[in-house]
Amino acid sequence: MKIGFIGLGIMGKPMSKNLIKAGHEVVVLGRNPRVLDELAALGARSAATPKEVAEQVQVVITMLPNSPHVKDVVLGQNGVIEGAKLGLAVIDMSSISPLATREISQKLAQRGVEMLDAPVSGGESKAIDGTLAVMVGGKREVFEKYYDVMKAMAASVVFTGGIGAGNVTKLANQVMVALNIAAVSEALVLATKAGVDPEVVYKAVRGGAAGSAVLDAKAPLMFDRKFNPGFRINLMIKDLANALDTAHGIGAPLPQTAAVMEMMQALKVGGLGDSDHGALVRFYEAMAQVEVKRLPQPDIAKTTK
């Protein structure tokens, strides 16, 4: 299938690579010349504008930071909509506001263009190995038509309902992830402050009710003090802002989400906005005056003499 891919950042680049590996013809658009050269070496063609991408393909995938970026790329000057022909589909895999998704979809529909909102979860590592979780909203028949395209980038592709449902599901996902990271951070700071090796605590609890994918992904990075993204705090702030805005609009209070949002805002002010969201542990560390880290292991040879 001829596929356009717009947005070649931390997530978009490996996702587009997996489409190429799956045998699709891919036309890409991004800002980084080195990334474009890397993808060209794999067989991708590049375009100068979203309009030019749309003119050459059957489906356009967007993977962009937030609602304004998707609106500009799809609906703006030289946007996808200007190059759209009858039968084109847009799959937005960004994480944006459900209201923005519905607005974009309505305007595309006026031109005979179908849209799916299909945000992803899993971060860079799962984007690279093609095991993302994709949450899809739109018409079921459109979902089924492009299921195999999305499955080339993912381990799980789930239909969640009408247009916008994918992004509502992703917002729920991000609330769970953010609060889980906060809980992991809080617990490991408690263990450290109490004088117990946090890595031992992690190993002891991970097989029980407290175990989670977030715990397994983030705790080892905390111990090794590795906070390079991953998924940036700035992007989690964006997602939580969308979650809070949506929740306020429908009357669903999110008190714990609001608290974690303020913690992440404090880290952003402190210059950590581009760190991985696992750096949330540093907020707790600053209050407790401890550092969660991997401790030196005893020399077994010496202790057994």
Q: What is the CATH number of the domain that holds 122?
A: 3.40.50.720
CA separation for the pair 169, 294 (Å, rounded): 35
Q: Is residue 275 part of a domain?
A: yes
Q: Cβ(127)–Cβ(15) under 8 Å?
A: yes
122 or 258, which is more confident:
258
Residue of 13, 170, 218, 238 with catalytic role: 170
Residues 20 and 89 in one domain: yes
Q: Percent of the chain having pLDDT more than 70?
A: 97
Return the residue matching tokens 């860079």. Answer: 124
Residue type, 255: P
Query: Are 174 and 158 in a shared domain?
Result: no
Q: What is the pLDDT of residue 5?
A: 98
pTM (global) more than 0.85: yes
Quote the pLDDT of residue 305. Answer: 52
304 falls within a domain: no
> Is the pLDDT assigned to residue 261 strictly greater than 60?
yes
* Claim to verify: residue 20 and residue 95 sit in the same structural domain: yes
Mean pLDDT of the chain: 95
By three-state DSSP, how is residue 8 classified?
A: coil
- Our answer to whether residue 170 is catalytic in this structure is yes
Please report, for the domain that includes residue 266, its CATH number: 1.10.1040.10
Instruction: Please give the Cα distance from 123 to 174 (Å, whole number).
Output: 12
**Which structural domain range is residue 195 located in?**
168-288
Q: What is the pLDDT of residues 71-111, one digit of tens each?
A: 999 999 999 999 999 999 999 999 999 999 999 999 999 99
Instruction: Report the chain's terminal Cα–Cα distance, integer Å.
Output: 67
